[in-house]
Amino acid sequence: MEENIIFKKENLTIPNFLSLSRIVFLPLLFVFAIKDMRLAFFIAYILIASTDFFDGQIARRFNQKSPIGSQMDSTADVFFYISTAYFIYRLYPEYLAPNMTLLIVGLSVVAISFIISLILFKKPVMMHTSIMRLPSLLVFFFMVLSHFVDTIYFLSAILVIYIIGFLEEIIIFFVYGLVDPDSKSIYHLSKLKK
């Protein structure tokens, strides 16, 4: 009888547990947001979001990168950042309203990217290019700063960067096919292919 791939000993790593914790503890953020418990939300968001930074750092530092870890990280990112869009809507609607056009364009580009990867590769693929890492970090700071100051234009900048990142991802899919999701950029891929 075959052992479940997720529970193989080599997959039981700290980076994988950190990625998984982002999904497991996500409902807690929903409770805090819905009950308008802003301080609890603020603290929990910082702790849960920081797992995205630490899972990758630990995986690279201790050579614990794996295909399943990369997939878990991408899945956790998708759930976490889609949920963050809801949290912005719920907690900071005044910042979202002026950015509605960018948000619609951004969500459309994300949907197109996932549809293309499903068609081409039979699975959803989310790249971790340099451009895609930047807005993830900026979203974290957006959520923290929004607790204290007006961040309307900061959100605009994040949405523009996301749109550029997902457009780059779509181009990578068509030009280079299924590549390492941790590829730095289309520029780096072009250098590797020469």
pLDDT at 193 over 90: no
Q: Rounded CA gap, 102 and 108, in Å? A: 10
At residue 5, the pLDDT reads 54
Q: Would you say 83 and 40 are in contact if contact means Cβ atoms under 8 Å apart?
A: no
Asked if pLDDT for residue 73 goes beyond 70, the answer is: yes
**What 3-state DSSP class applies to 87?**
helix
Closest by Cα among 84, 83, 74, 69 to 17: 69
pLDDT (tens digit, 9 = 90+) per residue, 75-120?
888 889 889 989 999 999 999 889 999 989 998 999 999 999 999 9
d(Cα 87, Cα 29) in Å, to the nearest integer?
Answer: 8
Q: What is the pLDDT of residues 14-24, one digit of tens each?
A: 888 999 999 99
Which pLDDT tens digit goes with each residue over 115-173? Answer: 999 999 998 888 889 998 898 889 889 999 998 999 999 999 999 999 999 999 999 99
Contact 87, 143 (CB under 8 A): yes
User: Cβ atoms within 10 A of the Cβ of 23, count?
Assistant: 18
Token pair recorded at residue 102: 């960018």
Q: What span, in angstroms and rounded, lies between the C-alpha atoms of 155 and 143?
A: 10
CA dihedral 51, 48, 98, 154 (to 10 degrees): -50
* pLDDT at residue number 28: 97
CA distances from 111 to 42, 118, 124, 163 (A): 28, 11, 10, 11
| 7, 15 Cβ separation under 8 angstroms | no
Instruction: Give the residue, 62 or 161, on which the prediction is more confident.
Output: 161
Separation of CA 38 from chain center:
22
Determine the pLDDT at residue 148: 92
pTM higher than 0.85, yes or no?
no
- Enter the tokens of residue 54: 């630490």
Q: What is the overall mean pLDDT for the chain?
A: 89
More reliable by pLDDT, 70 or 178? 178
